[in-house]
Amino acid sequence: MNVAADTVSDDLLRRFDVPGPRYTSFPTADRFVEAFTTDDYVQALGQRRSGVAAGSLPLSIYVHIPFCESLCYYCACNKIITKHHDRATPYLRYLAREVDLHTRQIGMGQPISQLHLGGGSPTFLSDDELGELMAMLRRSFQFAALGEYSIEIDPRTVDVARLDTLARLGFNRLSFGVQDFDTAVQKAVHRVQPVEQVFRLVEAARVRGFESINVDLIYGLPRQSSESFDRTLAQINALRPDRIALYAYAHLPDRFKPQRRIDATALPNGAAKVDMLSRSLTALRSAGYVYVGMDHFALPDDALATAKRQGRLHRNFQGYSTQPDCDLIGLGVSSIGRIGATYSQNAKTMEEYCDLLDQGQLPVVRGLALSRDDLVRRAVIMGLMCQGQVQFESINLAYLVDCRTYFAKEIEAMQPLFEQGLVVVDENGIQVTAQGWFFVRAVAMVFDRYLQTDRTRARFSKII
């Protein structure tokens, strides 16, 4: 499928400037319930171990490092702000306990093909602490030779010597949190980092052979304008990272306390955000970047762009991935995992997380066992989000349904999207058009039965 489009209509961008889920999972994490307990999670792990095929399939592992030295006002992540680096020492011990409880259930040496360290700021950990963490994981799991091993980088906490350490520890992918290069914007969100510092680190990372370098950007921050963000985009194009994640800032101060420090009067209005997005799409594509899918761009020879072209794109709680769909173990406070037809989430506070581990329990406090309907809808939504299409016959055979009957209301509800040129629907399936790919979240939302009965969509970010 051709996912590029010559132009993206500003009218469509304005029309779809509405809240909606990001679909890193379906059902989405806000649907998790406390009725799903540690016992349910242990049962799912046991089913994985007893399944001959499943037990041999590689795992994905996410490790949450919640610590940050300073507060970024826009942040909606689960974090602990502290300058006391000694807090990492007991946290690593608890992570080791959590890993041990997992290996008791699934056995030592399970293969993993994907590891991601997120936060917070994983680079809050010292070189020795990162080494301790990686050694512990390597003792417990078998790292695949061609796996993807990534870490989020706060440029303010890393120098060239640290990049050497990360390469030695086996990381082959880096993600730099940039957000914006404009000094006024950086001051407004309490994250000042010189452009030159980021350029030096990215160049040094290239010399050291990291396979893929990602840069995160955010539009819609205080003090931003279309002109100022144009300058940031020009600098990013000069930097030329392999991947770019371009996110819309969602100002939800009632949910995320740090955002209350942002001067709401300095935020760009909806029309300005739409203009930023429109100009960003033009600038990045003119610079040769491929629009992989919602928020994500990649150079044509990057593995993510290649997977998109070849129909091998997948999606998990970290976003788009080249790795095959697999079980995910989430380690650390607030981490989310997926085992079989279940989702789970760890305790969100350090106190509860540690208390459960002190009791010898896995620190799962909520989750979800997917129903048959959830599984069918997940297959459709992920097909749309990753491949931009759904073939009815494959869903019919996999789930013993008749899609045109099962989703009759949804197909009817897609008529406006068809009329706007975003989808094509025929007897064989659903195809997202080149224009529609930029609004794929809106297409997926049609099949979200939870969302259709929900009146509180404002808790989600805007779909563009």
For residue range 157-194, what is the model confidence (pLDDT) as tens digits?
999 999 999 999 999 999 999 999 999 999 999 999 99
* Residue 279 confidence (pLDDT): 92
**pLDDT tens digit sequence for 22-48:** 888 999 999 999 999 999 999 999 999
Amino acid identity, residue 401?
V
* Residue 3 confidence (pLDDT): 37
Residues 436 and 443: beta-carbon distance below 8 Å: yes
* Residue 4 confidence (pLDDT): 41
In terms of residues, how long is the chain? 464
Residue 431 CA, chain-centre distance (Å), reads 24
CA–CA dist 324, 393 (Å, integer): 21
CATH number 3.40.50.970 is the correct assignment for the domain at 25-329:
no
CATH T-level topology, domain 1-24+372-464 = Arc Repressor Mutant, subunit A (1.10.10)
CA–CA dist 348, 356 (Å, integer): 12
Per-residue pLDDT of the chain (464 residues; tens, 9 = 90+): 333 444 667 777 777 767 778 888 999 999 999 999 999 999 999 999 887 555 568 899 999 999 999 999 999 889 999 999 999 999 999 999 999 999 999 999 999 999 999 999 999 999 999 999 999 999 999 999 989 999 999 999 999 999 999 999 999 999 999 999 999 999 999 999 999 999 999 999 999 999 999 999 999 999 999 999 999 999 999 999 999 999 989 898 998 999 999 999 999 988 898 889 889 999 999 999 999 987 899 999 999 999 988 888 888 887 888 877 789 999 999 999 999 999 999 999 999 999 999 999 999 999 999 999 999 999 999 999 999 999 999 999 999 999 999 999 999 999 999 999 999 999 999 999 988 888 888 999 999 999 877 655 555 666 55
CB under 8 Å to 394, separation ≥6 — which residues?
none
* Residue 5 confidence (pLDDT): 46
Q: Which two tokens stand for residue 322?
A: 């080249």
Domain boundaries in the chain? 1-24+372-464, 25-329
Q: Is-same-fold flag (1-24+372-464; 25-329)?
A: no
pTM of the model: 0.91
* Residue 393 confidence (pLDDT): 96
CA–CA dist 151, 425 (Å, integer): 40
Residues 114 and 61: beta-carbon distance below 8 Å: yes
Burial class (CB in 10 A: 0-12, 13-18, 19+), 450: middle
Straight-line distance from the first to the last Cα atom of the chain, in angstroms, rounded to the nearest whole number: 21
Q: Which helix (H) or strand (E) holds 248?
A: strand 243-248
Q: In angstroms, what is the C-alpha Rg of the chain?
A: 22
